[in-house]
Structure 1
Amino acid sequence: MRIAMWSGPRNLSTAMMYAFGARADCAVWDEPFYAPFLHIGGRPDPMLDTIFDKEETNPENVANRCAGLIPDNKSLFYQKHMPQHMLEGFPLDWMDAVKHVFLIRHPARVITSYTKKNGVPTLSDIGVKEQADLFASLTKKHSGTPIVIDSGDIRSNPAAYLEALCNALNIAWDPAMLSWPAGGHKSDGAWAPHWYPEVWKSTGFAGPEGPVPEVPDVLQPLLNEAMGYYKQLAAFKLTLPG
């Protein structure tokens, strides 16, 4: 099975990749379309030269690998994607070969975290609109709703929600997903030394999140717009039995 996990930034996405990477039966791929996004979209990154040197920049080649043979003779292939990386003209037919999951987070938490790391974001930077648009497109195309899971729920009860996610995917629950070695994963993208230093220190999911943070007045319009898309997705999020 190929699993496409669609997330925005600052959204537990790397920790989720590490959780799946801790399974003996799962290969992982870190943001497959990020290098093509940078190369074709002309976006900056502090590690641009290293990324272009080490990562595949042709979106057709990336798409073929996403739908192709699962690496290392594994039975699962977890792909950490961001919908804002899918520029116009990028191939989409590979999406028929994967199982789609949407990882969401309250926009106030995303905006606050993003601002601390990267400066003031735009709506496109946080990716929630692109998530909602892709969710709607996949729902229409496949006549069924993809899986949605909230990062706040995962942090509140990692074992229960990861087991629920595995059940929704029809794969076996593996408690190995609850922990991983510090220092990152061998499949981290070339950008990891700049973007992942904090998560490299982790060996499991952080505890429950605190109260939703206050967003400055200047960012309230962004928050209000993002909340509409978040609520569209949150209406379908996984809940625990009972």
Structure 2
Amino acid sequence: MTLKIAMWSGPRNISTAMMRSWENRQDTQVVDEPFYAYYLAQTKVDHPMAKEVLASQSNSWQQVSEQLSQTNYQQSIFYQKHMTHHMLDDIDLTWTKKLSHCFLIRDPMCVINSYVKKMPSVNSDDIGIKRQLQLYQQITDITGQDIPIIDSKDVLINPKGILSKLCETLGIDFDENMLNWPKGTRVSDGVWAEHWYENVEASNSFAPYKKPLIKLSEQQRQLAQENDYYYQQLYQKRIISS
């Protein structure tokens, strides 16, 4: 049986580097944001390469969720990189009961600071932090799982320590291959990689943590403060390395 792991993150949160980390295990297959086309089809939001995204994936959440939860794969681990804002309210989450879940969080000030470098405007729905807390509560109720939470800053400070504890929580062995990966693109990357993945394509490991230089407007700072409540609810439950 394949262990299906769903990692729930917002955008601009080392989520693609985390996907690289898992894909570098010999026993793991990954999928990149499988609900993205569904999200675009429903919301009509103006995203870079929207037409290409819509053409590359199923627009049906029912079809996607069935593939993610019911299909068996060749590898023993199937790692799913999910964006929380892609999970709109009309999705029935009962499919999540068949998966093991983890949450990847980041300070909303840092998320917004990075997001606005790629997109001209941002709102609370775009960064998905409130939705992340909702999904944590909903999926916990559905699965009964004590869902592990990791913070991106903690990962960058001590990747081996945090990933070792995460693997232990998920009932699998930590693999040293998770700490480094070859530079470049992947066949598994979504078609949107051309716009979003420049930095991770040039990487071969988690970058050492550096405090970001925050340059936000007053409105963007207020947005970060509004979302900090939801972030803190998750942050206090996060895995801490020894």
TM-score range, shorter chain: over 0.9
Aligned to 1:188: 189
Any conservation in 2 of the 1:31–1:189 contact (CA below 8 Å)? yes
Cα gap change, 1:193 to 1:214, in 2 (>3 Å):
closer
Amino acid at match of 1:202: S
Amino acid at match of 1:22: N
Q: d(CA) in 2 for partners of 1:116 and 1:211?
A: 13
Root mean square deviation, CA, Å: 1.6
One of 15, 18, 25 as aligned partner of 1:16:
18
Q: d(CA) in 2 for partners of 1:44 and 1:119?
A: 11
Amino acid at match of 2:19: M
Cα gap change, 1:96 to 1:143, in 2 (>3 Å):
closer
Amino acid at match of 1:109: C
Gaps of 5+ in 1: none
The one-character-per-residue Cα deviations of 1:55-88 (angstroms, maximum 9, x if unpaired) are 22221110111102243x1010100011211123
Amino acid at match of 1:54: S
Any conservation in 1 of the 2:31–2:80 contact (CA below 8 Å)? yes
Alignment of structure 1 residues 1-242 onto 2, 5 Å:
1-71=3-73, 73-210=74-211, 213=214, 215-241=216-242
Q: d(CA) in 1 for partners of 2:210 and 2:68?
A: 33
Any conservation in 2 of the 1:128–1:230 contact (CA below 8 Å)? yes
Gaps of 5+ in 2: none
Q: d(CA) in 2 for partners of 1:17 and 1:199?
A: 10
Runs of 4+ in structure 1 over 4 Å off? none
Residue 146 of structure 2 aligns to a residue in which SS?
coil
Q: d(CA) in 1 for partners of 2:215 and 2:53?
A: 35
Q: Count matched residues.
A: 240
Residue 47 of structure 1: CA displacement? Answer: 1.4
Q: TM-score, normalised by structure 2?
A: 0.94
Residue 144 of structure 1: CA displacement? Answer: 4.7
Q: d(CA) in 1 for partners of 2:202 and 2:146?
A: 35
Q: d(CA) in 1 for partners of 2:213 and 2:197?
A: 23
